[in-house]
Amino acid sequence: MEYRQLGRTGEKVSVIGMGCWGVGLSKNHGDWAGEVASLRRGIELGMNLIDTAESYSSGRSEELVGEAVRECRDDVFIATKVAPPNLRHDAVIRACRDSIQRLGVSYVDLYQIHWPDPRVPIKETMSAMEHLVQDGLVRYIGISNFSVTETEGARAALARNEVASNQVEYALTNKSVEADILPYCVREKITLMAYSPLAHGKIAHSIPSDVLRKYGMSPAQAMLNWVTRNDQVVAIPKASNVRHQEENASSVATRFSAAEYDNMSSA
Site residues, ligand NAP (CB under 6 A): 19-22, 51, 114, 144-145, 167, 195-201, 203, 220, 236-241, 244, 247-248
Instruction: Specify the amino acid at residue 221.
Output: Q
Q: Compute the distance between CA of residue 167 and CA of residue 127 in angstroms, rounded to an integer.
A: 20
Query: Which residues sit opposite 111 in a β-bridge?
Result: 80, 141
Q: With the CA atoms of 141, 111, 23 and 175 taken in that order, what torsion angle do they form, in degrees rounded to the nearest 10? A: -20
Q: Compute the distance between CA of residue 227 and CA of residue 221 in angstroms, rounded to an integer.
A: 10
CB nearer to ligand NAP: give 134 or 250. Answer: 250
Active site positions, annotated = 56
CB of 159 to ligand NAP, least distance (A): 25
Q: Compute the distance between CA of residue 238 and CA of residue 240 in angstroms, rounded to an integer.
A: 7
CB nearer to ligand NAP: give 159 or 209. Answer: 209
Q: What region does 88 belong to: left with phi over 0, alpha with psi -120 to 50, or beta?
A: beta
Q: Compute the distance between CA of residue 195 and CA of residue 51 in angstroms, rounded to an integer.
A: 10
CB of 50 to ligand NAP, least distance (A): 9
CB of 22 to ligand NAP, least distance (A): 6
CB nearer to ligand NAP: give 44 or 135. Answer: 44
* Parallel, antiparallel or unpaired: strands 163-169 and 191-195: parallel
Q: For ligand NAP, which residue has the nearest CB?
A: 19
CB of 15 to ligand NAP, least distance (A): 15
Angle between helices 148-156 and 122-134 (to 10 degrees): 50
CB of 194 to ligand NAP, least distance (A): 8
CB nearer to ligand NAP: give 139 or 244. Answer: 244
CB nearer to ligand NAP: give 241 or 263. Answer: 241
